[in-house]
Structures are given as C-alpha cells and as structure tokens.
Chains A and B, each alone.
Chain A
C-alpha cells in the first residue's frame, strides 16, 4: 500500500500548476471562453510540448508510459484552473478506446496525433432519450459491403466543435438497450454526412449536437469486436469518471480555499464573517467532504485495473460521494459569498457551475447509487 506520488508525477503537477497559474489566469480564461473559438489551441500545443497529452500512453504506443494516476494528477490541476481544453475526451476517452480496444493499425494512425496535439477527439455516446445507459441507442451502424453506414443523433458531445475526430457508439445488432449489439467507431469529423450544431455550455465549454446522415465508414473504423463494445465502453467511461472526479477535487479545493479567504476579508457586524461559528462549521464540513472526495478518487483510480465488479463498485462509490460533495461545496461556497456569489464577476460562481454540471456527466448520483446497489 503506497500513497506516494513518483518524482515524475510531482514534476508534472508542479509544471502544470505553474502553467495554469501563469497562463490561465481568470481574465485570460474569461476572454478565451467568450471568443469565437471558445478555447486556446496554443494552450493545447503547449500541453503537447510539455508531454501532458502523451502521458497516459505506453512507450510502445508512442507515449510516456504513465497511467491512471498520471491522468488523476493532470485532471486535478485542470480542475483547479477550470481548464476547458478537451483533455478528457481526447486523451482519457479516445485514448482509452485505442489503448484497450484498438488494433495496431488504429493505434498507429491515431495515438501519434493525440500525443502531438494535432488530433482532437470528442466522445459521441449520449443520445436525447438514452440518459445514462450506454446501450440505450437509437443510432445505428448498418453493414454495407465491408464497411458500415451510420445514422442517428448524438447529444451534448463535449468538445465536438474543436474536434478533428469523433468516437461514436452505435447499434450494429440486437434491440434497443440490449447489452449485445453495441459497437464503437472512430470517425473523422469532416466525413460526409456529419452535421453539427455547436453551442456553449453553462460551465464555459463548447459542445454540439451531432447528426449522422448516412455516414459511410470503412471496416477499419470499428474499435473492438462488432456488437461487443459495451464492456469496452464501461471500462473507458469508468476511467473517465475517475479522471472527472479528480477534476472535481481540484475545483472543490479551490472553491473551498476561496470561500475561507472570503470569510476572512468580508466584515459584517464589525468582524470578519469567518469568526462566526455557524459559518466555520459549514466550512469544516466542506473541507471534510473534500478530503473524503480525494480518498474516493484515489480508490476509484487505483481500482481501475481490478476485477470488473470491484472496479465498478469503486468507481460508482466515487461518483456518488464526489457528486454529493460537489453539490455541497458548490452551494455552500456561493452561500458564504453572499450576493457576490451569484454574480458573474466573482470566480466562485464559475466553480459552482462546473461542479454542478459535473454531476450528470457519465451518470449522476442516483444512477451510480443504483449501480453500486446492484453490485453489492
């Protein structure tokens, strides 16, 4: 049992922390998310240069030999700065599909681009009526010669406006919601028949509704076995959840620290409001919820390689616990900031927004509570 980070992981954290502090200050972020592009490709290029985008890939695949703990370290720093660039969909999700299910040719074709920063991915899995069930798919992939033809509508595909490629889930067989018959494809976003409607999200990111209208893809676009993709999707989304929890921990840490600092500065009744015990104890409960979240994030991250049941239980425990903490810390941080907490000007409200949207990503508290119960 070991809770120490390697020297390399400490270096990555320090380097990223410096980069976020120096180049992701609040005003710069505000301008970037309001710009036409909504992100800063130069930040992405710098992440590639620092080796961040290649960190969780093995050296054989062209990466730097890191793993889930490295992704955790990286995502926590992104959470602290509310970084919007699409590390999660590109490196954790698409990277995960390629690592666990990709053929040698697929890895060869795509991992180099991810590591270099030239390929940006979005993960198109959700559908308007599918909620959190990865098998509840109306999108279809019909066999056509040696390839497939995709038709369907994918909902709230985060990072899609910036993406060069999409990972798409579709049904190649079976009935809607069957475990069998789910397949995963990698598709260039400029493929004929893909139509997107881009928009902003409430937490400062960009997403799109993605429509597939008779999109032809070759057989080589299939990742994993035909109709056998659900297990792979569950594994990759569990990895994504662990990484998301780390991001939420970073955001909660900053939200809590901002709140404590605010309570030191803000005076009412002639004293700093941080002198009031009723607020002190709320801030202690926020702190405790944060520490428990860090523990659950460690648990989920370190159980990603365990048996399927152990992995799913640990990941669902984390998504429940961190989801509850994110709600508590986000709401209480705004409350203790008073009126300033509900203004656009103060940063705290933006942390609150990110922590709010986090809950529904890859299944909310209720969904993961049900999965935890089912696996008892």
Chain B
C-alpha cells in the first residue's frame, strides 16, 4: 500500500503537462467552463484531443480510447484541472458513447462513435420531463412504430446545451401497457429532424444552459433504436452509473480551493488577510479535509475498477460528497468576495469599453462570477440523480434495506 506515483506515472504526468502547455488554445487559458461560450470554444480542446487520440481515454482502444490505467486517467484529470481547461462535454464522451459501444450494433458504432471521438458531433441528453424528474421511469414521451419509423411525441426538459446539439439520446415509452421501467426504449434522434423544437430556459445565473425540448410527430428511422426495444431502462441505468463515476470533480475542486485561498489572502478583515481569520480559515480547512478524504475514496474506487470492478453503487458516495464539496467551495468563494458578490454582471466578462457590456466592472476580477457560479452550482445536487436519490440507491444496493 502506498500513495506514491511510479517513475512511469511521473513521466506520464510530464508528458501530458507538456502537451497541455504546448497545445491548449491560448485564448481559453485559465478560463474554466462557462455556459455562455461559443460552440467552437466548447469544442476546441476536444478536437485537438481527438486528433491526439486522447479525447475519450476511458473507452476501449478499438473505439478510439486509450490503454491508460485508472491512475493515468486520474493524472490526466489533475493536469487538466491545473490548467483549467475546457474539457470535452460528457454527453457524448461519458454518456451515449459507452452505451453505443456496449449495447449498439455495428452500424451504430461505425456511424456515431467517430464523431464523438473527433468532437465534430455534439450530443444532448433527453431524459427528464416536466412530470418525470427523480421518478424518471414515469416518463410519458411516446414512440409509436409506423412502418420503418418511430413517431415520437412528448416534451423533455433540462436538456443541457441542446441549443448546440446535432444529436440527442432520448428515453421514450414504446410499450404503454408494461410496468413503468419495462416499456422504455433508448432512441437516437437527429436534432434537425422536423418536429424537434428547442426552447431555452433562463437560469438563476442569467445564462441559458438548459432547454425545453419539444417533440411533435418526430419521425425517426427504427435503426436509431439502441439495443432491444423496451429494454432502454437497463441502458439508462448503466449510463447513470458511468455519469456518476466522473462526477466527483476532485481535481477541479482542489484547484478551486487554491483559488479560494488566493482570494482570501487578498481580501482583508480588520486590516489582516481574511485567510488569517480563524473562523474563515476553519471553514477552508474543513473543506480541504473533506476533499482530501474524497480524493482517497475516489482513488480507492479507481483501484477497484482497475481490479476489474465496474462503477458500482459506491459511485453514489462520490456523487454526494463531490457535489457537496463543489457547492461548499462556491459558497465560501462568494463569502470571501464580500459585498462585491452583489453587483450584477452580464454574461460576457466585463472589461472597460467592452461593447458586450453596458456597465463598468466594479470590484476585483475574481468577484465577477462568484455569485453566478454559486447560483449555478446548486444544480449539482439535483442533476445526475438527486443526492436524495443517491441515498436511496445506497440504501438498497449497499445497506440492503
């Protein structure tokens, strides 16, 4: 038992760090992820990694993945967090991709996987509905067979960044008479198909990260069904477990704590740096301790995966603790910036004379997005199966109650 990286792993870290330094787009440097970016900015790093062969490291090599060990993938995520890169979005890479290569047929793999690897095709997720949130299996969108097509009708919601999407993966009810979980199918839809309509939803941070997606008599060829008709729930659950395993965001949170310390060293309280205030320092230390524990918990889970165990119900712990820490981090960051958390900024970063802004920026740069980020991150304990649903999963799968 040890926590040391091997010389090979150190060399790997040097290699990826150098690659990031030399190839990451300069105009996106230290930018993080922002929902108001242009489509091309979202995809820029993804496309560079696609050419390098590093865009889908967790996939099997035959579909464009790498043979990296879980430790190497961990190093990869740490180095990207260190440089605050805009990483490939999860909808293709971590969600529909693994479903297609695990349950799809040869034509589907050949048609869809290369676009995910290269970053040319943008995917979105059609799961939640206005009446089906935590009780996802109660979804009502229907797909009715008509010759070689399904005719799909219904409404999806919280469709993240669907305004940019080329394709979507949707859960639709194909057997209305079956029990809730047993009549659902997993269907791929070209978002340009007539009858697909995407309407933005404005969120607390002022941005348009999610959408309502309306489906009205959308005709989809039957070859877009993944796997077996009415078995979609199995694939949906498989996908959710994959989604959760990357959801802890440990490396990003570690970088966030460093930034929080920088802010708190710059802010003053009673003439001294805020970070020297015991009450505030205690909150930061508590966050660091929780994060240190989560980091080892994630590494233990990765080690389990390396030993051949897939992402299991333990990934629910990573989801709960990871999102609690992400939220606490943004909460403390907002607290650290003090009253400069209040001014409302536009979606475009304000710089003097910026045509996209109708107000002069006030306060330090690090304060501009503190409130918006805090508001935005409230989503994390709600999405991907709310943290209460994760507790239900652990109750059933681990405690056996």
By a beta-carbon cutoff of 8 Å, the part of chain A in contact with chain B is 1-5, 69, 260, 263-264, 274-275, 277, 280-281, 283-285, 287-288, 291-296, 298-299, 301-303, 314, 317, 320-321, 369, 372-373, 376
Establish whether residues A298 and B317, one from each chain, have CB atoms under 8 Å apart when the complex forms.
Answer: no
* Interchain residue pairs A-B with the least CB separation, the first 4: A295-B296, A292-B293, A280-B395, A3-B303
Complex Cα spacing A294 to B303, Å: 15
**How many whole Å from B380's CB to the nearest CB in chain A?**
16
Establish whether residues B293 and A373, one from each chain, have CB atoms under 8 Å apart when the complex forms.
Answer: no
Establish whether residues B285 and A274, one from each chain, have CB atoms under 8 Å apart when the complex forms.
Answer: no
The closest CB in chain B to the CB of A292 belongs to B293
A2 to chain B: which residues have CB within 8 Å?
A: 1-2, 303
Establish whether residues B290 and A292, one from each chain, have CB atoms under 8 Å apart when the complex forms.
Answer: yes
B: contact size bracket: 35 or more
**How many whole Å from B292's CB to the nearest CB in chain A?**
5
B105 within 8 A of A: no
B67 within 8 A of A: no
**CB < 8 Å neighbour of A299 from B282, B296, B395:** B296
**How many whole Å from A67's CB to the nearest CB in chain B?**
10
B9 to chain A: which residues have CB within 8 Å?
A: 1
The closest CB in chain A to the CB of B300 belongs to A3
**How many whole Å from B305's CB to the nearest CB in chain A?**
12
Establish whether residues A296 and B391, one from each chain, have CB atoms under 8 Å apart when the complex forms.
Answer: no
Establish whether residues A280 and B71, one from each chain, have CB atoms under 8 Å apart when the complex forms.
Answer: no
B357 within 8 A of A: no
**Given A280-B401, A281-B391, A287-B399: A295 touches B4 (CB 8 Å cut-off):** no
By a beta-carbon cutoff of 8 Å, the part of chain B in contact with chain A is 1-5, 9, 71, 261, 275, 278, 281-282, 284-286, 288-290, 292-297, 299-300, 303, 314, 317, 320-321, 388, 391-392, 394-395, 398-401
Complex Cα spacing A61 to B401, Å: 50
**Given A284-B395, A295-B296: A260 touches B288 (CB 8 Å cut-off):** no
Beyond A1-B299, A292-B290, list 20 extra A-B contacts (CB 8 Å).
Answer: A1-B3, A2-B1, A2-B303, A4-B303, A69-B1, A280-B401, A284-B395, A284-B399, A287-B317, A288-B317, A291-B297, A291-B314, A292-B293, A295-B294, A295-B297, A298-B300, A299-B292, A299-B296, A302-B3, A317-B292
Complex Cα spacing A274 to B400, Å: 10
Secondary structure of the A contact surface, majority rule: helix
**CB < 8 Å neighbour of A260 from B285, B314, B399:** B399
Q: How many A-B residue pairs have CB under 8 A?
A: 114
Give the most central of B314, B400, B401: most A CB within 10 Å.
B401
A281 to chain B: which residues have CB within 8 Å?
A: 388, 391, 395
**Given A275-B401, A295-B294: A284 touches B1 (CB 8 Å cut-off):** no
Complex Cα spacing A3 to B4, Å: 11
Establish whether residues A284 and B394, one from each chain, have CB atoms under 8 Å apart when the complex forms.
Answer: yes
B275 to chain A: which residues have CB within 8 Å?
A: 376
Establish whether residues B285 and A295, one from each chain, have CB atoms under 8 Å apart when the complex forms.
Answer: no
**How many whole Å from B340's CB to the nearest CB in chain A?**
24
Establish whether residues A299 and B278, one from each chain, have CB atoms under 8 Å apart when the complex forms.
Answer: no
A299 to chain B: which residues have CB within 8 Å?
A: 3, 292-293, 296
Complex Cα spacing A5 to B303, Å: 12
Complex Cα spacing A351 to B9, Å: 42
A295 to chain B: which residues have CB within 8 Å?
A: 292-297, 300
**How many whole Å from B269's CB to the nearest CB in chain A?**
15
